[in-house]
Chain A
């Protein structure tokens, strides 16, 4: 059975308020799928529906081939997923080890298997030495790591992670992100909610941008290309008219010019940059730096999200 997620016109309303509106998407096996959107976009509501925690209002969705709307399929979905909620929900009085052991016991893992799993993940996340400490004494980052481990204790092939790095300091965020990449190497399918663009860009194969409705889907690469004009900034010792002229002669538009830099509008920088740079050099320009500008996923994202308002 393949671990995919299929969502068709999924909608969730609270009374007259629609939190998630007609969302359709597909997540492939082994993929890290980034579900991106600002606060209140409906990300948590969506994963809660997919994890069968709350009901849908309309539409349909299957997780691992099981229907989220079918009450006999729901336990099967819950049994095969790992779920990291938005609020970690640890037992603060219990030790890190006991928090995990409880879930391991529930999943009927042998005491030995529990110990192996807990040791493996806690060592990987640098928490093994703290295993006997109460979870309540942990920092935010440590709690988040512990909660991710809890979601993994039964070795699920499909993971829902709701903003795993929200409110973490940069170092803890990086550990968590690297950990997600490790999980990806282990061929787990990961549905990752995030409001952080660079996170989506760094770890996701596919991205969907949500703002109650779905506003875009595709690879981070595709999205970047689809929406914005791409530009290249070339910094020179001296950006004189000869250099600018050479670029224009090639048919490129100059968006911005200073005494030592040019911002050039390009369509396909991977192909066009070498030509442009060669022309600049031929015209006597001495190139110091070449950087891409204004074509980040962030621009696309902001453009789309604002456009949806």
Chain B
């Protein structure tokens, strides 16, 4: 694998994403919703409460928002994926690319980089705004700065790993699918396991303790590595060129 080749693919993708209103919208809307709206909800919820209630409520509310950082890490790549490999297939731009010495690994790594950086940057930006505003709203009540804390640290460790998994699954799906719509629809199903995870957390089967999140991070790291090989195996040049309609 050649990092420079992979990077040239990623850099090209970034230039394309810059022109895609949906990508820009998703990557700006997300930090605004999570970073601004959630702290406002928090503020609204604790404002009228007696201090004792607010002190108890604020941390658990803030922690319960954290799943949204992981959900963002999964959803944003799906929004971008339709301009990645699917976009190349639609424009038939893979054929000239495959006629160069570029390897499957170079292409897939390039696509992973370009698929990963925007979501992660967007989620991190959202998290920074979120933490700053939450601290602003709760410092008076709690008497200390709630963020940064280890919980958020572990969440932000899970984020790139979850994003990478999402990117890889989208790549695998779009390499196999022969039309854009089914690729996108299947991509959205990705969210299901994380809804399951959310329910598991809610029902206290798998609460989002720091230890459990670290276990999740480890599992995701293994899944990411495995999926890179799966994506290489599913990236069949000949089929991609001859079966896409």
Contacts and interface: CB of A to CB of B under 8 A. Distances in A.
Contacts of B101: 75-76, 78-79
A105 B11 contact: yes
A89 B96 contact: yes
Interface of B: 4-5, 8-9, 11-12, 15-16, 19-20, 91-103, 237-238, 241-242
Contacts of B91: 89-92
A85 B100 contact: no
- Interface centre among A87, A88, A89, by most chain B C-beta atoms within 10 angstroms, is A89
A78 to B, nearest CB: 5
Interface in A123-144: 134
B16 A94 contact: yes
A53 B100 contact: no
Given A48-B241, A54-B242, A75-B101, A91 B96 contact: no
Given A91-B12, A105-B8, A79 B100 contact: yes
Interface string A189-223: 00000000000000000000000000000000000
B8 A87 contact: no
Given A85-B99, A87-B95, A102-B11, 12 more contacts: A48-B241, A53-B95, A54-B242, A75-B103, A79-B101, A83-B96, A89-B92, A89-B94, A91-B93, A93-B20, A102-B8, A106-B9
A51 interface: yes
The 4 tightest CB contacts between A and B, nearest first, are A83-B99, A89-B93, A87-B92, A75-B101
Chain A interface residue count: which class? 20 to 34
Nearest to B100: A78
- Interface centre among B11, B100, B103, by most chain A C-beta atoms within 10 angstroms, is B100
Contact of A91 (B16, B102, B241): B16
A83 B100 CA distance: 8
A98 interface: yes
A14 B9 CA distance: 31
